[in-house]
């Protein structure tokens, strides 16, 4: 049933209820039928599911295979079982899973802490009696009440509305409050235009009303969006896809190399089958970068910690890397670019226009003007706005309509006081477009303007025109606020120089011109007037005639002062920032211009509806301001940008934003004013709701991407070198030293346990410490990388291949040089130690490309020191026995030193060549 199109009487009949509400028995029946009035969260991950998810990737599968192969080699004929290798790999695997689980679990707990700690109450009518119940107990057919400050417990059809206005921004994206009535509207009216309806999880900012619950729980407008969110598939991040593809490629390449080596050895040499199997296991252990999953997880976790310190809570670790790829940010306006707080920005009084600074929100006596003075006419205007006002300030802050709160704050910032007693009120309505309050005025001093700087003195009965004396012991005075033209129509005088003078046509035209000028600057304009010595029993029309016009106040939700610089920083970093707001076009363009957006070509939601997908895709690349957009429009904008190969971060706070947040490459929800549904759909939650935090998050994401690329380059080049050393060592050794390499126990240049140790000490602490590398200084001076660019790009592949070849040439040079002058075990030990030392040098060679000195990361220095110390422990303690190595003397160290120098020289030369051929 289209409840908003039906009169209240039809709603009562359709829901089998009446003005006295439901009986207790009927409530129990309906609760059994409809269930609790709650939004189901289908996306909470179980602890077990969170743990299992850490192991669903190809690199993890490869680690398991490597562990099984390592365990299996001990059961080959002539070999003794070696469980240490398999246990080591499984230990790395479990440690990585536990670390990732701990990080994700901590994040989920932080998200839950952002949720409301208590369920709101609802005031309902049951059997003719008012009761306060848990909002989850409301059922369809319940009659419930809402008043200023209340959260609406369910979707309801209004049957009574007294100056009621609600904030529906969480549902519709519209920042302005919505005035409500009991009138039916067209059946096809969208939720934002259903004046006779109130919606679950919105809240009343003014007035009061009575409604009949027509939908609860998942049947509400909020529930429908939550259900749509559940049906939206969450795609993997590009980095997740790349790591998975990398694992598959490593697996395929490893099998190909093993097959090739096995075929050569079996077909062209006399190598035994057992020797071939030993080479296969050794190659498998060498090829798998055991530390890669752990290092990826740690680096992303460290990045998420740094983001948390900057008030950005990352919900999924891989998103940290995705932040670095963002080239477009689609942000809403209210609360992200702006303060989410209506503020009086400009005033017109006594024929003068005043620019008002924000004032000291926490101070008790801030000046309204920058020079510390407050002219009499301005004082009267501000005090009138405070008296004709339903907002109030309590111990927990302000309550009321944002516009009225702004008027109240403007008066407080000027250090004013005013009578709190109210003799009569004529409430605001959409038809009247004005509000009138009768309060005690002053009996004397109407024309006294001597004490203009003595505002707010509660003992001074002659200050500032006598309007709104703090004591309030004078004659009843009517104070009026409303649309400027409506207020002017009821005025026949204007306050100038402290005197009430005739409102001529010229003065009236001047006021209207100022009103237009304020509106052109996207200010919401209100007019103010008063009339003294009124009869409190007079009709509304009588109260509101013969008024004296006081002035105008122009209000705006002001931009955050730091956002303009953040937008400029993003622009310098090659990141387009796009505003998409539910506010009107002029407001959006004015705020956008002030913050550095280009308002040219701005589009509205209705205009988007007239464009085809292709036309929108063409336009979206040039538009920086979108106004009057709905949730569906946001999704269209997002998909058009993504269709043009942009990596998009999208912000949102309302339930209506959830589908777009989930579809975005990086969904960013607001932590302070955001809804649970939006936070659940997001990848990142801003704890301070500030756009500058997005800029900082992108910078951190770029730094994390650099770190990921560094250690991926490092690990892959190290593993490539190890694989090529084993591969060519087996081929060359079989050809040149057939007797030595024909024996099963001596068939490789390095044994599996040696390679596992190299991987452990080099892929372990040093690689982990790379994740703590600081950002390079130019991180936000570069353009964003292309959407198609991956961690392993052409430059990394070329570097991996070149270093692998150089490690093979120099490493096998050390090995075969030693083998020609000593025993196999001495040559193996020399090569074993050479690889550990070279991989430590490789780290700094990679870091130097990012202009990072060796001293910039103390954790890395410590890790390198520990690694080299552990290698010496293996060489010069009884641990050398299980590793099958011997102590090295000065002669053997000279071999290593020669190979070391050759590698460094060749690596530096290779960098110059690669930069010329492949680029930076």
Neighbours of 699 (CB within 10 A): 21
**Helices 752-763 & 691-736 angle (0-180, nearest 10):** 160
Rounded to whole angstroms, what are the CA distances from 441 to 385, 389, 413, 449, 454?
14, 16, 22, 16, 17
Q: Are 333 and 581 in contact (CB under 8 A)?
A: yes
Q: Which of 104, 150, 155, 332 is catalytic?
A: 332
Paired with 545 in beta bridges are: none
- 725 and 811 Cβ atoms separated by less than 8 Å: yes
Q: Which residues does 309 contact at the CB level (< 8 Å), separation at least 6?
A: none
Residue 339: Cβ within 10 Å count: 18
With contact defined as beta carbons under 8 Å apart, do 141 and 24 qualify? Answer: no
Q: How far apart are CA 622 and CA 407, in angstroms?
A: 38
CA distance 289 to 171: 48
**End-to-end CA, the chain:** 64
Residues forming beta bridges with residue 479, ordered by sequence position: 437, 530
Q: Phi and psi dihedrals of 5, rounded to 5?
A: -95, 0
What are the structure tokens assigned to 276, written together? Answer: 């071939």
Residue 513 annotated as catalytic: no
Rounded to an integer, what distance in angstroms lies between the CA atom of residue 405 and that of residue 514?
A: 23
| Bridge-based pairing state of the strands 397-399 and 424-426 | unpaired
Q: Distance between CA atoms of 410 and 398, rounded to whole angstroms? A: 13
Neighbour tally for 592: CB within 10 Å: 26
CB 832 within 8 A of CB 750: yes
Whole-number Å distance between alpha carbons of 515 and 513 = 5
Report the sign of the C-alpha dihedral through residues 790, 43, 199, 7, in that order.
Answer: positive
Tokens of 894: 């000279």
Residue pair 307/697 in contact (Cβ under 8 Å)? The answer is: yes
> Largest Cα–Cα distance of the chain, in whole Å?
120
Question: Which amino acids are annotated catalytic?
Answer: 332
């Amino acid at each position: 049933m289209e409840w908003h199109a039906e009169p209240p009487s039809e709603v009562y009949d359709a829901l089998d209820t009446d003005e006295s509400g439901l009986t207790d028995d009927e409530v129990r029946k309906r609760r059994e039928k409809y269930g609790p009035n709650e939004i189901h969260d289908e996306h909470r991950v179980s602890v077990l599911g969170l743990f299992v998810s850490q192991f669903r990737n190809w690199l993890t599968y490869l680690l398991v295979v490597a562990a099984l192969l390592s365990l299996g080699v001990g059961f080959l004929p002539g070999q003794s079982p070696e469980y240490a290798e398999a246990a080591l790999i499984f230990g790395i695997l479990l440690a990585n899973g536990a670390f990732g689980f701990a990080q994700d679990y901590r994040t989920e707990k932080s998200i839950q802490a952002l949720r409301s700690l208590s369920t709101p109450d609802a005031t309902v009518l049951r059997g003719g009696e008012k009761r306060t119940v848990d909002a989850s107990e409301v059922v369809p057919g319940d009659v419930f009440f809402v008043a200023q400050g209340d959260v609406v417990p369910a979707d309801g059809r209004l049957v009574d509305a007294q100056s009621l206005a609600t904030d529906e921004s969480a549902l519709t994206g519209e920042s302005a409050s919505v005035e409500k009535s009991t009138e039916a509207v067209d059946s096809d009216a969208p939720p934002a235009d259903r004046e006779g309806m109130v919606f679950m999880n919105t809240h009343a900012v003014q007035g009061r009303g009575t409604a009949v619950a027509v939908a609860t729980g998942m049947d509400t407008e909020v529930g429908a969006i939550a259900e749509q969110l559940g049906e939206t598939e969450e795609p993997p991040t590009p980095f997740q896809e790349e790591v998975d593809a990398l694992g598959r490629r490593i697996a395929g390449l490893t099998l190909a190399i093993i097959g090739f080596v096995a075929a050569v050895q079996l077909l062209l040499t006399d190598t035994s089958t057992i020797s071939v199997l030993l080479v296969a296991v050794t190659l498998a252990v060498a090829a798998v970068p055991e530390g890669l999953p752990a290092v990826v997880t740690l680096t992303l976790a460290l990045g998420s910690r740094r983001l948390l310190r900057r008030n950005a809570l990352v919900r999924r670790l891989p998103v940290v890397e995705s932040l670095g790829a963002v080239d477009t940010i689609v942000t809403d306006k209210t609360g992200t670019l702006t303060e989410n707080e209506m503020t009086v920005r400009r005033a017109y009084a006594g024929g003068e226009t005043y620019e008002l600074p924000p004032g000291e929100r926490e101070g008790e006596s801030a000046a309204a003007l920058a020079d510390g003075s407050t002219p009499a006419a301005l004082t009267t205007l501000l005090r009138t706005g405070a008296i004709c006002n339903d907002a109030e300030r309590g111990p927990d802050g302000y309550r009321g309509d944002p516009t009225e709160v702004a008027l109240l704050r403007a008066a407080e910032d000027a250090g004013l006081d005013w009578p709190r007693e109210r003799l009569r009120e004529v409430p605001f309505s959409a038809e009247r477009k004005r509000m009138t309050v009768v309060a005690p005025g002053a009996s004397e001093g109407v024309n006294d303007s001597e004490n203009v700087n003595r505002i707010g003195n509660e003992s001074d009965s002659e200050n500032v025109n006598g309007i709104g004396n703090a004591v309030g012991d004078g004659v009843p005075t009517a104070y009026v606020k409303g649309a400027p033209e409506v207020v002017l129509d009821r005025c026949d005088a204007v306050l100038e120089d402290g005197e009430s003078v005739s409102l001529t046509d010229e003065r009236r035209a001047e006021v209207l011109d100022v009103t237009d000028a304020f509106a052109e600057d996207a200010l919401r304009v209100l007019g103010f007037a008063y009339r003294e010595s009124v009869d409190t029993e007079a009709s509304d029309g009588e109260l509101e005639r013969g008024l004296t016009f006081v002035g105008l106040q122009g209000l705006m939700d002001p931009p955050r002062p730091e956002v303009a610089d953040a937008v400029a920083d993003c622009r310098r970093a090659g990141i387009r920032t796009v505003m998409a707001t539910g506010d009107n076009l002029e407001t959006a363009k004015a705020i956008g211009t002030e913050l550095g957006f280009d308002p040219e070509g701005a589009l509205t939601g209705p205009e988007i509806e007239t464009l085809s997908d292709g036309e929108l895709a063409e336009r979206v690349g040039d538009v920086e301001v979108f106004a009057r957009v709905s949730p569906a429009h946001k999704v269209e904008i997002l998909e058009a940008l993504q269709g043009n190969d942009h990596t998009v971060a999208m912000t949102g706070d309302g339930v209506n934003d959830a589908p777009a947040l989930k579809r975005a490459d990086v969904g960013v929800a607001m932590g302070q004013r955001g809804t649970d549904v939006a936070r659940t759909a997001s990848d990142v939650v801003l704890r301070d709701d500030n756009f500058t935090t997005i800029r900082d998050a992108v910078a951190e994401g770029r730094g994390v991407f650099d770190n990921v690329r560094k250690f991926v380059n490092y690990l892959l080049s190290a593993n490539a070198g190890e694989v090529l050393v084993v591969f060519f060592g087996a081929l060359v050794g079989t050809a040149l030293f057939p007797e030595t390499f024909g024996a099963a126990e001596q068939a490789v240049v390095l044994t599996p346990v040696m390679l596992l140790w190299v991987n452990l000490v080099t892929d372990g602490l040093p690689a982990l410490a790379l994740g703590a590398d600081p950002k390079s200084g130019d991180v936000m001076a570069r353009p964003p990388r292309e959407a198609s660019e991956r961690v392993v790009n052409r430059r990394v592949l070329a570097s991996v291949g070149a270093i692998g070849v150089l490690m093979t040439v120099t490493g096998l040079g050390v090995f075969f040089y030693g083998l020609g002058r000593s025993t196999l075990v001495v040559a193996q030990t020399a090569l074993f130690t050479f690889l550990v030392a070279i991989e430590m040098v490789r780290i700094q060679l990679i870091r130097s490309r990012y202009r990072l000195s060796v001293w910039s990361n103390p954790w890395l220095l410590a890790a390198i020191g520990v690694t080299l110390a552990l290698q010496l422990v293996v060489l010069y303690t009884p641990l050398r026995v299980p590793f099958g190595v011997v102590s090295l003397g000065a002669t053997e160290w000279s071999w290593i030193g020669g190979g070391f120098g050759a590698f460094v020289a060749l690596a530096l030369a290779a960098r110059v060549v690669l930069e010329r051929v492949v680029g930076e």
